[in-house]
Amino acid sequence: LFLQFVFHTYTTAFTLLNGNGTPKAEENSLRQKQIFYGLGAISYAASVGALPLIFMNRYTLKSSLTQLIVRRLLPAPLLGLTSAFTAAVVRSPEFENGIEVMDRNGKVVGVSRNAGEKAVRETALSRAVLFGTTFFLPEVLVHFVQRAKLVKNPRALAAVRMFLITSVLAGMVPVSLSMFSQCGEIKRAELEEEIVSSTAETELFYNRGI
């Protein structure tokens, strides 16, 4: 539970600092709201992430199938989903209040909730892919290493697992960042009526954040 809490605290703080950044009225109250949302999301995600292991230990479920599911198969998708959840929650003011959309010359045309929703959705998806893949692929590789009996010492196997996680994470960071451009595009027809009527541009742009 503690390690889950530390992980989600770090990723949530990173998300909070690297959001859209559209200036808003009452900036201090907005920041306080995001921090409050973030603390709730961290607590929830950490509890959900640790719950399968706590449940398994509490009821002494030690069968090989249970160990395989809880320790090997479940953590990666669960971590991906909870990472996407925390990103969406802490940046929820962006689709509640909207973010700025600009034309090709960088002129702000208006503030759009639809663009904010698209930016948050893309960021959450990229976060799920980043951490889901980072913790799923090394487990698959470690499984084949064990079956091939390339490493027999438990400490050496733990070192191999850590090396694989670090390597996959290093490779997945640029992949997840490049899934969606930081300067996102949205079609004029997908925006609110007041923005559609104020510009003739067919495509508008927004800062997605990271």
Question: How far is residue 203's CA from residue 192's CA, in Å, rounded to a whole number?
Answer: 13
Q: Per-domain residue ranges for the chain?
A: 1-207
pTM, rounded to two decimals: 0.86
Residue found under tokens 């990229």: 126
Portion of the chain with pLDDT greater than 90, in percent: 53
Question: How far is residue 71's CA from residue 161's CA, in Å, rounded to a whole number?
Answer: 13
Question: How far is residue 97's CA from residue 202's CA, in Å, rounded to a whole number?
Answer: 23
pLDDT band of residue 24 (cuts 50, 70, 90) is low
pLDDT at 23 over 60: no
Amino acid at 146: Q
Per the model's pLDDT, the better-predicted residue between 34 and 206 turns out to be 206
* Helix segments in the chain, DSSP class H: 2-17, 27-58, 64-67, 75-90, 92-97, 113-147, 154-178, 193-196
Per the prediction, the chain carries an average pLDDT of: 88
